[in-house]
Structure 1
Amino acid sequence: MKPYQQIAIDECGEPLVPIPPEHFAFEIPHPYQNLGAPYHNSKANSPYYLRQGVVDSLIAAQTELQQNYQNWKILIFDAYRPVEVQQFMVDYTFNQIAVAQGCEFPVSEDKRQVIIEHVYQFWAVPSLDRATPPPHSTGAALDVTLADKNNRRIDMGSPIDEISERSYPDYFANSNHPKEQQYHRNRQILKNAMINAGFQQHPNEWWHFCLGDQMWAWLTNQNNSVNPLIARYGRY
């Protein structure tokens, strides 16, 4: 169990709604759908859904961004992710790592354990327990980056979903290399827009932000010990 999964959930019942396309850029075709991830079995047959309150805050983040960077947009890479899709992507990532390491299939149990622990550093366990939902399965977490007026991605120094230390939000913070300094500035621009709109950032992923789920409450409570929060969004 990860620390944030100890946070209690008081489900508010807020609906899952589509992210309005007029405000944002989108990753199209969606990379997980392209791999065959089973969105068709879910309550929303698209990854581009979030809880209503999260969408409202995302629009606020976009407004905040454009006050300083008028031609930039938040690009939505991924949002709502049913548990079945979470399982699909965990399995896919496991296989990719196993192949890259030259493993023979079926993977031996000791090697399998090493790989799965590595996978779970970046992917949440696809739990069906309502007390420990994967963040994306709540409709309160999303993966985002920035795009310019032509919908071209702003360079953040590493791709979304890369399983390495380069994914850590402040990985380039102390670099003296001009290009890497720019990567850090770009990450900070995204972070500031999202944080000012009420989101929290995943400690290990520059692209992952959440609002109202267990991780959000856990991260908020680290600076709010007097009146600790609980999650208002559980598995949808």
Structure 2
Amino acid sequence: MRPYHQIPIIECGESLIKIPLELFAVESPHPYQKLGANYGEHSPYYLRQSVIENLIQAQNYLQLLHPHWYIQIFDAYRPVTVQQFMVDYSFGEALRERGLKEEELLPQQREEAWQAVYEIWAVPSLDMQTPPPHSTGAAVDITLVNDAGEIVNMGSPIDEMSERSHPEYYASSNQEYDANRQLLQNVMLKAGFQRNPREWWHFSFGDQMWAWLYNQSHPETTMTARYGRLTGSKLISS
């Protein structure tokens, strides 16, 4: 359980729709599909309608500050099956980084590897009360592309399982990386998003994490989540 799982979900029924990719920069080919993740009938480039509207607002704010810069979309909607695939893949990566083989793991080594995985990845829960953020269609992983078409250096890649992923990691050690992360956060917060405290790239609007973070900074309010886990096709619009 994460702290944000205490937030009630009151599903608003808003559709999951295709992101207008022509308005953004896009990670291509999609990084998880390239690894073999199966998204089923819909591509990973879907989000709830209001989330997309806010993402467009964020890009408009960005381009007021930096004309011809773009938000680059790395990942968006993610079925729980893909969440499970990436958790399993990342566990394998954690073992490779440590030079370990799963069949030879000591209990402590296994626990340490899983701790590294779950520092970044949400549990692929099928419980409707504890959905992974991306499985609600409310979360998006992003970075920035500058006017030369180059990915802006944030000091660490998306999904890295280390402390460098923490948003404030470079606050006192690298002004450039910290400023780039702050820029990304500022335009997203201005558009109504909240940032994952553990991941500089992860932003959400309307899910449990978003509501929990909003309540932390606005103690006089009691925000609930408006988006839960998507089930079936009734909320998905083509």
The reply to whether TM is greater than 0.5 is: yes
**Aligned equivalents of 2:182 and 2:87: distance in 1?**
28
Q: Which runs of 5+ in 1 are unaligned?
A: none
**Aligned equivalents of 1:64 and 1:214: distance in 2?**
25
CA-to-aligned-CA distance 1:178-235 (integer Å, 9 cap, x gap)? xx21111111111110000000000011000000000000000002222210100000
- Written as runs of structure 1 = structure 2, the 5 A alignment for 1:165-204 is 165-175=163-173, 180-204=174-198
**Aligned equivalents of 2:147 and 2:46: distance in 1?**
23
Normalised by the size of structure 1, how large is the TM-score? 0.94
Q: Equivalent of 1:87, from 59, 74, 84?
A: 84
- Written as runs of structure 1 = structure 2, the 5 A alignment for 1:1-236 is 1-40=1-40, 44-106=41-103, 107-175=105-173, 180-236=174-230
**Aligned equivalents of 1:165 and 1:68: distance in 2?**
29
CA-to-aligned-CA distance 1:159-195 (integer Å, 9 cap, x gap)? 10111111111111112xxxx2111111111111000
Normalised by the size of structure 2, how large is the TM-score? 0.93
**Aligned equivalents of 1:15 and 1:201: distance in 2?**
23
**Aligned equivalents of 2:7 and 2:203: distance in 1?**
17
Give the residue type in structure 1 aligned to 2:183: I
1:38: Cα distance to partner? 1.3
**Aligned equivalents of 2:155 and 2:88: distance in 1?**
26
CA-to-aligned-CA distance 1:95-120 (integer Å, 9 cap, x gap)? 11112212223244442222112211
**Aligned equivalents of 2:97 and 2:58: distance in 1?**
38
Secondary structure, counterpart of 1:143 in structure 2: strand
Q: How much identity, in percent, do the aligned residues show?
A: 57
Contact map agreement 2:116 2:162 (CA 8 A) in 1: no
**Aligned equivalents of 2:55 and 2:120: distance in 1?**
23
Give the residue type in structure 2 aligned to 1:201: R
Secondary structure, counterpart of 1:188 in structure 2: helix
**Aligned equivalents of 2:157 and 2:42: distance in 1?**
25
